[in-house]
Structure 1
Amino acid sequence: MKRFANLDGVENNKTFKDMRKWQKERKSKVKDLSVNIEQAPLKRIKELNENRSQTSYTWIGHSTFLIQLNGVNIITDPVWAKRMGFQKRLTEPGIAIADLPEIDMVVISHGHYDHLDFPTLKKLKGTPHYFVPAGLKSLFIKKGYQKVSELNWWETTDYNGITLHFVPAQHWTRRTLNDMNTSHWGGWIFQTKQETLYFVGDTGYFNGFKQIAERFEIDTVFMPIGAYEPEWFMAVSHISPEDSVKAFLELKANTFVPMHYGAYRLADDTGPEALERLYRTWEKEQLPKDQLKILLLGETVM
């Protein structure tokens, strides 16, 4: 059975002993979980359902976005689950799944449950084409999905005027006891004649950002900033807010849209803490304020 690996042989090799150390640390930390990411006061549901010409993106929560590009309705890592393991979802999704337009394309970054939730997929409107990392197609076929394409790193395909590229990330994956890294992980780049959007997926900071920058001119990057604490445990697989800004600068992108924070408590950091560190780093680097698009849940940029 093929096992996938990261660039430069980087491994997530944390042990059960490390996990126990983290759990012990966690008990000693006091975190304010009463402050959460807010919902947008105005949801543009009617416009989103009617839009087939303008580029737009809407943050649903965690790593889930509705992206409208070239007349195509795209969902990234669709997860509307109310729980993740033993933890309740901290915030409601920005848009109810029933209020979405019909979906044409779904991209999956990797097989972890907070990025691939089959009960959510069943509820999506339309008959979307699923684009998944190498090694995941067989699971989709087994679950009854027929319109599935799987890609390896640096592979490319076309869909209705969008060129779709699967690019590296530094992570790992597992859904059962026996399937560790039997499917890949990565990010997705959506390229049209007018613009290029990059959905990073789930990643630690790595040299791949420089390689991606050599191949693409990125307009908007959807970048993870959460689930980084404690960093001695998480850094290999989850990028910190500081390193996410470093990656953004290496990518030479125009717009930074943060994600992967505030919905599920996957690590010790909170959503507001992640944002605070992001703001602080942005100011320290003296970057233009209009290049940072921090969205409320359900907020649309159109």
Structure 2
Amino acid sequence: MKMRYSNLDEVGVTGSFRDLLQWQRERRRKRKDLSYHHPQAKIKEVSWLKGNRDVPAITFIGHSTVLIQLGGVNMITDPVWASWLGMYRRLTEPGLRLDELPEIDIVLLSHSHYDHLHYQSIKRLPGKPKYFVPAGLKRAFERRGLSDVQEFKWWDRVEFKSLSLTFVPAQHWTKRTLFDTNRSHWGGWVIEPDNGPTVYYAGDSGYFRGFKEIGERFSIDYCLMPIGAYEPEWFMKEQHVNPEEAIQAFLDTKAGHMIPIHFGAFMLADDTPKEALDRMHAEWDRLKMDPNHLHVLQLGESRKLTLGFGCVRSG
């Protein structure tokens, strides 16, 4: 019998069918302003990215798709270039085209939801990447002709060249069909180079005690933290942090810098990209946190990474 995976403390996140119907009724009554589109970077360092094997860098492509260049290794998280998710059209174009990417060495997957796992995008990635995936997904990859797949459970660790990569907990769930709920796992990734900044990619998660444990186990320099798809909070709370919880989770990890992700590309819930960003900035200011430690990247924008934490709180 196939295994079903669960969260820490057996927290359930999916809600009932009645809850889903109530949310859909509420959603039909809402009127949201979708005029804001997260901007594309005016300068995109495509040629530099393709040749870069020396400088630690993060490039925001959109939603939860991020190019991470660390320790001479090119990694991409949850690659999705899809224009549609079901009935919902993508709100913004990806920050880089697939042909603008460098050769990818590793694909890091957080979980199997459609906004994080798009097989057609994965098959078109340049290079011959290894696929590091949560437990329960290897066979699905291999059925689609994708080889060199390694599965991970929470706290599993692998060495690749100068990097150590650890699959860490998140509070979420998985489903792609009517019959596979939680048949594969979910989580985030901590990437530690021999020399250079440590990066934590949180994937999708509700707020949970696991953020503190991750912060205790690792010395994190850059935290890629989701901020969107939280409304209505009575329905989404256990599976997606809201912007205020995202900042608390960042503080729990004791990371030096926060880069928000999981906003702006798809209308997965009722919040808008601008609402998510505005609430995040308001909470950052309310807590008197150093603005130099929050980096909202434009689509296609690259940030070169440095070591050192500094003081996140400015007052």
Displacement of 1:91 in angstroms is 0.1
Q: Distance in 2 between matches of 1:47 and 1:195?
A: 20
Write out per-residue CA displacement over residues 208-234 of structure 1, whole angstroms, 9 at most, x where no aligned residue: 001111100110000000000000000
> Tell me, what secondary structure is at the counterpart of 1:135?
coil
- 1:131 corresponds in structure 2 to 132
Moved more, 9-18 or 161-170: 9-18
- 1:120 corresponds in structure 2 to 121
> Tell me, what secondary structure is at the counterpart of 1:184?
coil
Map 1:174-193; keep pairs closer than 5 Å: 174-193=175-194
- 1:82 corresponds in structure 2 to 83
Q: Distance in 2 between matches of 1:134 and 1:123?
A: 23
Q: Which structure 2 segments of 5+ residues have no match?
A: 305-315
- 1:284 corresponds in structure 2 to 286
- The correspondence for 1:273, drawn from 272, 275, 297, is 275
Write out per-residue CA displacement over residues 177-217 of structure 1, whole angstroms, 9 at most, x where no aligned residue: 11110100000010012221000000000000011111001
* Residues 1:131 and 1:222: Cα distance change in structure 2 (over 3 Å): same
User: TM-score, normalised to structure 1's length?
Assistant: 0.99
Moved more, 9-18 or 289-298: 9-18
* Residues 1:48 and 1:178: Cα distance change in structure 2 (over 3 Å): same
User: Is 2:214 aligned against 1:212?
Assistant: yes
Displacement of 1:16 in angstroms is 1.6
- 2:225 corresponds in structure 1 to 223
Q: Distance in 2 between matches of 1:122 and 1:216?
A: 32
- 1:165 corresponds in structure 2 to 166
Displacement of 1:36 in angstroms is 1.1
| Identity over aligned pairs, percent | 51
Q: Distance in 1 between matches of 2:86 and 2:205?
A: 20
- 1:300 corresponds in structure 2 to 302
Q: Distance in 1 between matches of 2:185 and 2:155?
A: 12
> Tell me, what secondary structure is at the counterpart of 1:150?
strand
The code of the aligned residue for 2:143 comes to: K
The code of the aligned residue for 1:86 comes to: M
User: Is 2:16 aligned against 1:20?
Assistant: no
Q: Distance in 2 between matches of 1:55 and 1:191?
A: 12
The code of the aligned residue for 1:213 comes to: G
Displacement of 1:29 in angstroms is 1.4
The code of the aligned residue for 1:127 comes to: K
- Across the two proteins, how many residue pairs are aligned to each other? 302
Q: Distance in 2 between matches of 1:60 and 1:5?
A: 30
Determine if contact 2:14/2:173 at 8 Å carries over to the other structure.
no
Q: Distance in 2 between matches of 1:154 and 1:102?
A: 27
Displacement of 1:145 in angstroms is 1.4
Q: Distance in 2 between matches of 1:257 and 1:197?
A: 10
> Tell me, what secondary structure is at the counterpart of 1:42?
coil
The code of the aligned residue for 1:71 comes to: G
- 2:311 corresponds in structure 1 to none
Displacement of 1:27 in angstroms is 1.7
Write out per-residue CA displacement over residues 88-130 of structure 1, whole angstroms, 9 at most, x where no aligned residue: 0000000011111111110000000100000001110110000
Displacement of 1:12 in angstroms is 1.7
Q: Distance in 2 between matches of 1:117 and 1:257?
A: 23
User: Is 2:245 aligned against 1:243?
Assistant: yes
> Tell me, what secondary structure is at the counterpart of 1:190?
strand
* Residues 1:99 and 1:13: Cα distance change in structure 2 (over 3 Å): closer
Q: Which structure 1 segments of 5+ residues have no match?
A: none
Determine if contact 2:56/2:197 at 8 Å carries over to the other structure.
no
Displacement of 1:13 in angstroms is 4.0
- The correspondence for 1:259, drawn from 258, 261, 270, is 261
User: Is 2:36 aligned against 1:35?
Assistant: yes
